[in-house]
Structures are given as C-alpha cells and as structure tokens.
C-alpha cells in the first residue's frame, strides 16, 4: 500500500494505465500492480512509475486453479501477490501468492519453472505474506509464522513461531516491516449488522521463536490492507498521525454493491485501552 501525497507535497498526478477495460487490479506490492486479464485469466505485474522493465508476465490463474475453486468469483480467488525484489531485468526473483480454495492457501512461482504456480498444500488459512531480508514470511490463522527461501527451484522453510489461535471470531493478522524488524499486527473485528467492523489492534514484535507485544510504534505510522502493508516515519511525513494504524477495507468482496466501509485511522494507545 502506498499512501497518497508522498511526493511533491500535496500534488496529485494522473496518467493513463495501458491495460484493457476488461482487466482488474487485485492488489499491489511496492508500486507493482497485480493485473488480471479477462477473459483468459492472464496475470501480470505492472509498475506505472517506471518506463523500462515495468511489466512481469506471470502464469495465468488457470495454472493453479483447483477444481474446488471453480464457481468462485474471480475477484475473490486471488487475494495477494508478493514480489521478492524489484529487479525485473533478470529472472532472479520469486513470487508468492495467497489464493482462495476452501480457505486461503499459498502458492509460489519462480521463473524457469515447468508448472507455473506451485501450491504449498501444507498450509491453509494464510492471512498475510511479507518479503524481508531475503525471506518470505507467511502468517496463518493460528498466528504461526513460517519463513521461506528460494535458493533452488523449490522453497526451503522453517517455523519462526508456533501458533496458539487468535481466540477471536472475526480477526485478521498482518505482517509489516518497521525499524528493520517485523511486526505482527492482529486486527480484531466484530459482526455488526452482517458486517465485519474493526474495533482495535494489537501489535507484536516478531523474533525467532517468540514475540513480544509493543504498546507504541515509536512515531511510525502503519498502513494495512490487501496491498503490501508498510510503515512510514511521521517525522518524514507529518501529514500522517504518529503511532496510528491506517486501515484500508480488504473485505470488499463481502459488501456487494454497498462498497467498502471498514476503513479508518486507529490510535494504538486507544486500542490498548479497549482490548
């Protein structure tokens, strides 16, 4: 997720996107837009902020779409795509994705592979993925976190922390980098008039084998959503509130024509008082 007004003060820049009218954007990762092309379900990454090497063609959705997922709306099938690095002039990169098939599952793609997207069947209930210091980190529903590396054609993984379960009916977990460390952010929701409404957050600093809750973001501002979550220093961007979480609605597929509604700004100190 990239908040607005980051460059040129409060300027707004408009430009044309070279994509067809039948295409749609799933999410973004560090400026790369994840574009699905209808009707053949082609898939590619596009970076509108650079002029050269700004497109990465990926295997289509059909290469990892299992029989159980047929009939599911296309905009709900692919949840998030994370790129290991920005360099596109070489094939030294890997991509991991969260997709829906009787629960959120994880698949990976590496250029040169024979089979397109390769699912990781041992994991179900994936909430978020982050690329950090040459590793992909995946967090699941039970709060467990695993790390993946791609030294060869297939990933090697290790468990970072084991899961305990969220103990909350409606919740989601995010991973975000802040001050050179990974934060695990738990978003708590309640069901209100058939809608999930966010009521607060808890933030934990991730370490090998354990995590510790933090009560302050030390002036940082977090941005969470279906795009790659990120953090910014409020001293560099004073238009954003320090020690706050900016939330984008990432459950829009549940709202039908009513549009997204669960979004806003949350002060961490107030979340600590509520939860």
Q: Which domain holds residue 215?
A: 172-275
Nearest to 111 by CA among 166, 150, 64, 156: 150
Of the residues 141, 165, 189, which one is the last residue of a structural domain? 165
DSSP single-letter state for residue 115: S
Shared domain for 87 and 179, answered yes or no, is no
Q: How far is CA 222 from CA 1, 83, 195, 244, in A?
A: 10, 20, 24, 6
Shared domain for 241 and 180, answered yes or no, is yes
DSSP single-letter state for residue 271: H
Flag whether pLDDT at 41 surpasses 70: yes
Of the residues 136, 165, 194, which one is the last residue of a structural domain? 165
Neighbours of 146 (CB within 10 A): 22
Nearest to 118 by CA among 169, 74, 166, 58: 58
The pTM score is 0.84
Shared domain for 153 and 202, answered yes or no, is no
Of the residues 149, 165, 181, which one is the last residue of a structural domain? 165
Shared domain for 123 and 53, answered yes or no, is yes
Contacts of 115 (CB under 8 A, 6+ apart): 63
- Which of the residue ranges 2-11, 48-57, 197-206 has the most confident prediction, judged by mean pLDDT? 197-206
Shared domain for 97 and 189, answered yes or no, is no
Q: Are 222 and 246 in contact (CB under 8 A)?
A: yes
Shared domain for 160 and 176, answered yes or no, is no
Shared domain for 21 and 95, answered yes or no, is yes
Q: What is the pLDDT of residues 242-263, one digit of tens each?
A: 999 998 766 655 444 455 567 7
Q: What is the pLDDT of residues 193-246, one digit of tens each?
A: 666 788 889 999 987 667 789 999 999 999 998 788 889 888 888 888 999 999
Shared domain for 69 and 93, answered yes or no, is yes
Shared domain for 1 and 49, answered yes or no, is yes
Domain count across the chain: 2
Shared domain for 132 and 255, answered yes or no, is no
Shared domain for 239 and 181, answered yes or no, is yes
Shared domain for 56 and 109, answered yes or no, is yes
């Amino acid at each position: 997720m990239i908040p607005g007004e980051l460059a040129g003060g409060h300027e707004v820049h408009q430009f044309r996107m070279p994509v067809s009218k039948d295409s749609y954007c799933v999410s973004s990762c560090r400026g790369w837009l994840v574009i699905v092309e209808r009707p053949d379900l082609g898939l590619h990454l596009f970076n509108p902020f650079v002029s050269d090497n700004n497109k990465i063609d990926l295997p289509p959705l059909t290469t990892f779409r299992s029989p159980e997922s047929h009939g599911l709306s296309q905009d709900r099938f692919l949840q998030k795509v994370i790129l290991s690095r920005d360099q596109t002039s070489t094939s030294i990169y890997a991509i991991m994705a969260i997709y829906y098939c009787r629960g959120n599952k994880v698949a990976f793609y590496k250029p040169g592979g024979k089979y397109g997207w390769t699912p990781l069947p041992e994991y179900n209930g994936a909430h978020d993925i982050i690329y950090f210091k040459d590793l992909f980190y995946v967090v699941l529903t039970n709060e467990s976190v695993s790390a993946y590396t791609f030294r060869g054609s297939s990933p090697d993984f290790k468990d970072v922390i084991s899961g305990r379960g969220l103990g909350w009916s409606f919740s989601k977990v995010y991973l975000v980098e802040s001050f050179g460390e990974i934060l695990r952010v738990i978003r708590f929701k309640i069901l209100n008039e058939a809608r999930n409404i966010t009521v607060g957050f808890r933030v934990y600093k991730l370490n090998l084998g354990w995590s510790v809750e933090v009560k302050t973001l030390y002036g940082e501002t977090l941005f969470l959503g279906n795009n790659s979550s990120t953090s910014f220093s409020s001293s560099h961007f004073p238009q954003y509130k320090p020690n706050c979480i900016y939330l984008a609605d990432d459950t829009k597929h549940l709202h039908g024509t009513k549009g997204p509604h669960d979004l806003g700004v949350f002060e961490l100190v107030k979340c600590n008082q509520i939860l």
